[in-house]
Amino acid sequence: MEARLFAYLSYADAPAALDWLRKVGFEVVSRQDGPDDTVVHAEVRMGEAVVMVASSDADYQKPPLIGWSTGHGLYLLVDDVDGFHNRAVAAGGTSVIKPEDTAWGSRRTRVLDPQGQEWSAGSYEPGARW
């Protein structure tokens, strides 16, 4: 069976989230606005990574940062880990793990976007055949 995975995120302020995503390197490829400055559905792309974004339909609570994680997040395979981190922080994100080399031979970073969504980025490719 063939399968492909696409993430979706809802935000209290989806237009602001889309602006942040654009500033870190995503391109907004589709956007359907609703009433009262809401986003019914949007899609952003960075290379082959695609994320769907919409305005929250309820008062969802994001888990707090405990140590270095909220317990879940998204991971981007990127060519320029440091550049991603710098753009994310310059756009209003919070640095959680500054760019670093890992013991397993990759480079990584982690930030929270301005609305608390955890984003990790690195040079390690999950699922790559060894």
In a domain, 1, yes or no: no
In a domain, 30, yes or no: yes
pLDDT tens track for 45-81: 999 999 999 999 999 998 999 999 999 999 999 999 9
Q: What is the CATH number of the domain that holds 48?
A: 3.10.180.10
Helices (H) and strands (E) in the chain, counts: 2, 8
In a domain, 64, yes or no: no
pLDDT tens track for 71-98: 999 999 999 999 999 999 999 999 999 9
Structure tokens at 56: 């929250």
Q: How many structural domains compose the chain?
A: 1
Q: What DSSP assignment string belongs to 53-100?
A: EEE-SS-PPPPPPBTTB-S--EEEE-S-HHHHHHHHHHTT-EEEEEEE
Structure tokens at 55: 């305005």
In a domain, 65, yes or no: no
Whether residue 129 has pLDDT greater than 80: no
In a domain, 105, yes or no: yes
Give the Cα separation of 45 and 62 in Å (integer): 23
Confidence of residue 128 (pLDDT cuts 50, 70, 90): confident
In a domain, 109, yes or no: yes
In a domain, 130, yes or no: no
In a domain, 97, yes or no: yes
Domain span at 103: 7-57+70-122
Whether residue 130 has pLDDT greater than 60: no
